[in-house]
A and B are shown apart, each in its own frame.
Chain A
Amino acid sequence: MSVSMRLADLEAVYEKLATAIDAAGAEKAPVYLAKLVLLLSDQIGDPQMVLRAIDDCLHDL
């Protein structure tokens, strides 16, 4: 089940992520995002949720 956040909190994530990807730069952006997934996976502690999200995000690219 997804953890719901208030729109304002999600917007904060949205903005921070955009800035961080720019800070990483185009070349490092992919490895930065992969790292983020691994760290969040460890912190969330729910492997099924992460695996579903990985599949979900593969759509409509």
Chain B
Amino acid sequence: MRPAGRGPLESLYFSYPHFDPPLRDNTRVARQRVVIAGAGPVGQLAALALASHGIESVLLEEKATFNDGSRAICVARQSFHILEQVGAVQACLDKALGWTTGRNLYRGRQFFEFSMPHSQDDKYLPMYNLQQQYLEQFLWEAIERNPRIDMRWQSPVKTVSDCAEGVRVTVGNPNGDYTIETDWLLAADGARSPIRAMRGLRLKGENHQGTYVIADVRMEHPYPTIRRALFDPASNRGATVLIHRQPENIWRVDYQIGSDESIEGATAESVVTKRVSAILEEIGHRGQWELEWWSAYSANTLALDEYRDGRVFFLGDSAHIVPIFGVRGLNNGLADAANIAWKLAMVIKNEAGKRLLDSYTPERRGATLDVFLNASKSTRFMTPPSIGWRLVRDAALSLALRHEFAGAFSNPRQMAPHSYSDSPATLADAAAGASGSPPGAVLANVRLDDGRYLTDLLGPGFSGVWCRSAASHCTRIELQSRLEKLDPRFRLLELGVDFTDADRRVAIRLGMPNGGFYVIRPDLHVAGRWFNVHAESIAAALATILDRAGE
């Protein structure tokens, strides 16, 4: 909602462009490889990621402009790596505000400060605040430059039905509806996904107690980019407030409302103004401020049982809805898109068998269940659902003012990326016991001798990092030729040839001080690793992941 007198797209700081629908003539190609429904950040990322793997797609969006509803702001480190892979990271970096620290206050007194892990080996900060509409704008700029993406605005999906080896989609268009047949359909059409309903699927899970009002305000407020959580503040007695800084002097103020309050009453402009005013006064803001936008929110942990339905894949909010407190809604959606994109691209190019696609649900639904576990904990702390949870939470807060250990209960546990250790698309650890990154985990990054990062050297397909030792018997040519047969884009990175490692920091950080080999998937998760480098067994392992065993 916006203040009276301002239209739904009249922002104080962001200009929403208007996009025309495609001309009727542009819509006549009858058969497509991939159609993506929904050009929010997840659908946009899916189109860009597919394009980076050489696959063309049609991207359909119902609206004529960027998102004015969903308002994600926290973009995590791993999402920045994903944005880098699709050529959209620089604009995001230029605009976003990075942060590592959070502060929790109880009745106006700080009792806990946390820092998310960050080291000189990390290329990006653990978290950035960036308004969702900026992210969409920067992704759109990359889409516009990309000849492999056919973006169609004002083009809602109206019907979906199965056809031979594909899906038939009716697309709305102000100039006349039309039909597309596609080999694959990616449904990135949001929390209220029409495609999910058309397929007769339902999200399952829990609705949590507690409603928040989410308000964005514009003000000059000299406080660093540190996320603040206020428990039982004078300005919102008995409830919780979260405060985030965003680019362009925009501040996000989330405050919990009472269980006896109606959403209609609490979201009236005069009520929002009064309560935000009290909160701003409490955090020491004395100057002018303006309301930009607000909405109401309550926490849910909901997911589909299966993210694939025939030739339809569900990505982002259409597949899972998570509480905001773990900041994994947008981030997991982007990871969904990156995950399905490389797998689908390799299947379409006949570089992988169809069973590779079976790993999408367990990997990405596993990530959602991981979030549920953590987010349920933090949601119970932010918004205790019953007298018992409330008493113990209040006891912990009160205790934490004088006893440091109790502050840890309030840690929001903003999470590291999920590890795919049990997935069919990762291997058993042939270097079990080594430190570093086991199969399934995101590859630990390393700052190299020349200032670049290990991730800068990885290719768009699978990559191999060879911490070569004097004892390696294998030859580069043998490895390269065997692995390229499986993935033509395979990039071999050999210590001493492709990168130097004067202090053996790469080898040590990867847990391979005496030599060894990592295979990295296109999404930067480790596929497998070995102490002993035998071209034949590494190639056989990659073939297994790609569902091409026996070739």
Contact = CB atoms under 8 A, between A and B. Distances in A.
A42 B405 contact: yes
A25 interface: no
Interface in A26-51: 30-32, 34-35, 37-39, 42
B399 A38 contact: yes
A31 B400 CA distance: 13
Size class of the contact patch on chain A = under 10
B330 to A, nearest CB: 35
B391 A38 contact: no
A31 B403 contact: no
B403 A30 contact: no
Contact of A30 (B391, B396, B405, B406): B391
B395 interface: yes
B388 to A, nearest CB: 9
Interface in B369-408: 391-392, 394-396, 398-399, 403, 405-406
B403 A34 contact: no
Find the residue from B394, B395, B398 having the highest chain A CB count within 10 A: B395
A34 B405 contact: no
A46 B395 CA distance: 20
A30 to B, nearest CB: 5
Nearest to B406: A38
A41 to B, nearest CB: 10
Nearest to A34: B395
Contact of B392 (A32, A34, A39, A42): A34
Contacts of A31: 391, 394-395, 398
A44 B143 CA distance: 59
Contacts of B399: 35, 38-39
B45 to A, nearest CB: 43
Nearest to B403: A39
A9 to B, nearest CB: 24
A37 B405 CA distance: 14
16 contacts: A31-B391, A31-B394, A34-B391, A34-B392, A34-B395, A35-B395, A35-B398, A35-B399, A37-B395, A38-B392, A38-B395, A38-B396, A38-B399, A39-B399, A42-B403, A42-B405
